[in-house]
Each structure stands twice: as C-alpha cells, then as structure tokens.
Amino acid sequence: MKDKKILVVEDNLINQEVVVAILEKLGYSVASVSSGISALDLAEKENFSIIFMDCHMPQMDGILATQKIRQREAQGQHRTKIIAMSADSTPEYQQKCLSAGMDDFISKPASFQDFKRILEKLPND
C-alpha cells in the first residue's frame, strides 16, 4: 500500500509535521492541510487512499469533514479510508468517530508504531 497517497489533516502544525515525518519514514507519499475545510477542498481535487483526520479543529472539525466526504462518496466517488486522530480516546468518543464514517481510530499522541500498526491492518485496495 506504500504507493498510496495519504492526506494528513491536523490544525496543530507541530503535530502535523510529526505525523507527516512518520508517514514519510514509512515510505508513503503525504500531503497535509490544517483544517477540515481545506481537507474537503483537497479531497475533491485529488484521490487519497487514506486520510488521517484530526477530530478537534476550529471552523470544521474532523467529524463534520468526514461526514461531508462520505456524502460526496455516496454520489459515486472513490471511498477513502479515514482514520480519526484524537487525544479523547474514550470508547464513547471512538464510537462517535466510527459512527460518523471513520474507518479506525488512533489516539494522540501517536507513535511511529501506532501508525505502522494502523497502516498494516488496512486492506490493500
């Protein structure tokens, strides 16, 4: 799956740089944006295999951005794997993310091994 393109959506620029560096070290091609609105715009222009989506962002949070992406995909677009990223890792919050259409959840702060584990369990489609 390393030939797949990944989008990182994270409003904290330091966290964004760390996640991008981890994914690039794992051998992936990575783009990044700092808001849910920018994620929607870029996801409409480019096909990403995976989006790592921060859940708590100003203007448009990751849950709403995911719901909007899923609405677009219902019109026939390619379905992108969306992985929630949040420091709120309670079972209730994880379920809220999954119910919004996210495919998996990674707790912040996430390590190199956390990203590797998530990526290894995704199907190669």
Q: How far apart are CA 21 and CA 5, in angstroms?
A: 14
Residue 20 lies in a domain: yes
pLDDT digits (tens, 9 = 90+) for 28-70: 999 999 999 999 999 999 989 999 999 999 889 999 999 999 9
The tally of CA atoms less than 13 A away on the side-chain side of residue 71 is: 7
| CATH code assigned at 61 | 3.40.50.2300
**81: in domain:** yes
- pLDDT of residue 4 exceeding 60, the answer is yes
Does a structural domain hold residue 73?
yes
Number of domains into which the chain is organized = 1
Residue 16 lies in a domain: yes
Do residues 112 and 22 lie in contact, with contact meaning Cβ atoms separated by under 8 Å? yes
- Position 125 in a domain: no
pLDDT at 2: 64
Tally Cβ neighbours within 10 Å of residue 76. Answer: 6
Task: Give domain status of residue 92, yes or no.
Answer: yes
Distance in angstroms (rounded) separating the CA atoms of residues 82 and 95: 14
pLDDT tens, position by position, 82-98: 999 999 999 999 999 99
- The overall average pLDDT reported for the chain is 92
Segments forming the whole domain that contains residue 99: 5-120
Question: Quick one: CA dihedral 46, 16, 25, 107, positive or negative?
Answer: negative
pTM comes to 0.94
Q: Is residue 88 part of a domain?
A: yes
pLDDT over 70 at 125, yes or no: no
Rg (CA), the chain: 13
> Does any domain span residue 85?
yes
